[in-house]
Amino acid sequence: MAGNITFTMIKPEAMRKGAAGAILKMIQEAGFEIIALKMKQMSTKDAEEFYAVHKDRPFFDGLISFMTSGPIIAAVLKKENAVEDYRKLLGTTNPETADEGTIRKAFATNVTMNAAHGSDSDDNAAIETAFHFDKNEIIE
Ligand code: IDP
Ligand code: MG
């Protein structure tokens, strides 16, 4: 059965653009409830651990320097079928192919600076939530 939470980060470039408010508005208007929220500067160690699955990819070093180039906003979102529905709202990894009405179509700069992160499975939603939030920071 599909779970009802997912984890997102608004990435540094979208923060610099001042797009965080508009992205959170899109998230809420799409029916997600924000049950945890914080602004945070990720360390290199944080980013390397969060993106460990990509450590052998050619874009890894660029991704780590980008994700530590300024603060992010981390949030936990609640909705039925949250992971799949949020990936749809996010749009494709490469914004060039993202549909109209998606967060990445509206706010991404390129494939690395693609505005926001979204978990890709229920298991990863739980792991990523626990990475950024203590239990008492989640308001359900
Ligand atoms: P996702 O964010 O859509 O789940 P992943 O494949 O998990 O995409 O990649 C994680 C992040 O790594 C992407 O959001 C993007 O910032 C960066 N990335 C992925 N593929 C590329 C690439 O081909 N070139 C540069 N950066 C990439
Ligand atoms: Mg991913």
The answer, yes or no, to whether any atom of ligand 1 lies below 6 A from the CB of 60, is no
Give the pLDDT score at 1: 56
**Ligand 1 centroid to residue 18 C-alpha, Å:** 21
> Residues with beta carbon < 5 A to ion ligand 2?
120
* Alpha-carbon span 71 to 43, nearest angstrom: 10
Residue of 117, 128, 129, 132 marked active site: 117
Q: Which stretches of the chain drop beneath a pLDDT of 70?
A: 1
For the whole model, what pTM was predicted? 0.98
In a 10 Å sphere around its CB, with 0-12 CB exposed, 13-18 middle and 19+ buried, how is residue 58 labelled? exposed
**What are the chain's domains?**
5-137 (3.30.70.141)
